Amino acid sequence: MTQRYPCRIAAQHPSLPGHFPGHPVVPGVVLLTEVTACARNFLARPVMFTGLPAVKFTHPLMPETEFEIVIEEAKPGTLKFQCLQNDTQLASGSLLYAQG
């Protein structure tokens, strides 16, 4: 099963002023925070995230830009994710979890 979650990082996000002044780019850690929030929603049960064995950032994301997070279960205990802006992949990877 695959789920898609629409997202947008507000221009007022506290991480943006220092990343980078005058030309803000959403930091990768902010994207990963959104991924884990969507993953919790996807799993719909208490879990503990235990690792990110593979993460690749392929394109920058600007604030206030609509994008989506696509999550699917690769196998029990592992989710695959992609962050997409239209047809452009922003990030992808896998997320490990255990019952919380």
Domain count, the chain: 1
Q: In what order do the strands lie in the sheet with 67-75?
A: 2-7, 67-75, 78-85, 88-99, 47-57
pLDDT of res. 31 = 97
Domain range for 52 is 2-99
pLDDT tens-place string over residues 4-33: 999 999 999 998 888 787 889 999 999 999
What is the distance between the alpha carbons of residues 45 and 59, in angstroms, rounded to a whole number? 31
Q: Read out DSSP for 1-68?
A: -EEEEEE---TT-TTSTTSSTTS----HHHHHHHHHHHHHHHH-S-EEEEEEEEEEE-S---TT--EE
Looking up residue 49, the CATH number of its domain turns out to be 3.10.129.10
Contact 30, 90 (CB under 8 A): no
Residue 64 has pLDDT above 90, yes or no: yes
DSSP 8-state assignment for residue 100: -
